[in-house]
A and B are shown apart, each in its own frame.
Chain A
Amino acid sequence: MAEKPRIRLPKQAGKGEVVEIKTLIAHVMESGQRKDPSGKIVPRKIIKRFACAFNGKPVFECELEPAIAANPYLQFSVKVEESGVFAFTWTDDDGAVITAEEKITVA
C-alpha cells in the first residue's frame, strides 16, 4: 500500500456542473478465501470503506466487500457549486486510513 492513490478529475468546472471522478488505489484486496501454498487460509485484508467529501461535506461513500477486485477502482459523480477541495479517504480492515486531496476551480 505504499503507492499513492490515483485520482482523475477535471481541474475546472462550471457552477452546477456534475463532474466525474475516477479513483484507484493499489491494494491486494485479500479476500480471506485464498489458501497459501501450505494450505493455510490467507487472512482477509481489504479496503473496506471509501469516502469523498467536498469542502468538508460528505458527498459519496462506498462500503467495499472482498468481492471488489484488487486495486479497487471507484468512479462516481459530484455536482460542484463552488471552488474547493475534494478529500478522499480509504480505510483498511485494520483501521489504517489513506487520504488524498484534489482542488477544483469552479467558475
Chain B
Amino acid sequence: MRFISRRDALRLIPGLTALVWSGTIERSQATPAEATTEIGRFTGGRTADPGKIALDLPEIAENGNSVTLAFDIDHPMTPERHVTEVLVVADSNPSPRVATFRFTPMSGRAAAATRIRLAGTQVVSVLAKTSDGKLFVAQRQVKVTVGGCGG
C-alpha cells in the first residue's frame, strides 16, 4: 500500500485515456470532472487528508470485471469518535459512484472489502468521513489490461 503526498491527494490524476472494455459494455463514460463533483458532494468542498486509509487495489487488473478492493482506516471506532461513511468513486466508469459504506461504533473497525468493475484504466478514490467532521482520502490508479489478440 502506498501513501501519497497531501499535494497529490488533493488533485485527481487527470487526462488518462479510458480504454474500452471487452465488447459488450456501452461506451459512455463518466469524466474525471463528474467524479470530482461526486467527491465534492461527499466532502462539502472541504479538503480531505491522506494517510489514514490503507487502500488495497492492484496496480494492474487482468480484467475489469472483478477487481478486489479493500480498505482499512486507522481511526478509533468509539461512540464518541468513529468513521461514519466511506464513499468509493471511479473516475472513468459509466457512472462514478461505486459504493457507499456506513459504519457504526459496533463495527469495531472501519474496514471493508468487495469486488468492483472497472471499465478501463482509471483512478479509484476512497473517501471517509468521521463523526467529528474529519475527512480522509486515498487514491490509486488501476491499469486495466488490454487483452492480446483483439478478441
Contacts and interface: CB of A to CB of B under 8 A. Distances in A.
Interface in A63-96: 63-70, 72-79
Contacts of B117: 31, 66-69
A45 to B, nearest CB: 15
A60 B107 contact: yes
Contacts of A54: 106
Contacts of B66: 69-70
B26 A75 contact: no
B102 A60 contact: yes
Contacts of A18: 108-109
Contacts, number: 101
A33 B113 contact: no
A18 to B, nearest CB: 3
A62 B101 contact: yes
A98 to B, nearest CB: 17
Contacts of A63: 99-100, 102
B69 to A, nearest CB: 10
A58 interface: yes
A15 B80 CA distance: 20
Given A60-B102, A65-B97, A68-B98, A34 B25 contact: yes
Interface of A: 18-19, 31, 33-35, 41, 54, 57-70, 72-79
Interface of B: 24-26, 28, 65-67, 70, 77, 90, 93-95, 97-109, 111-118
25 contacts: A19-B108, A33-B28, A33-B94, A34-B24, A34-B26, A35-B24, A59-B106, A61-B101, A62-B100, A63-B99, A65-B95, A65-B97, A66-B95, A68-B99, A68-B115, A69-B66, A70-B65, A73-B115, A75-B112, A76-B101, A77-B111, A78-B108, A79-B77, A79-B105, A79-B106
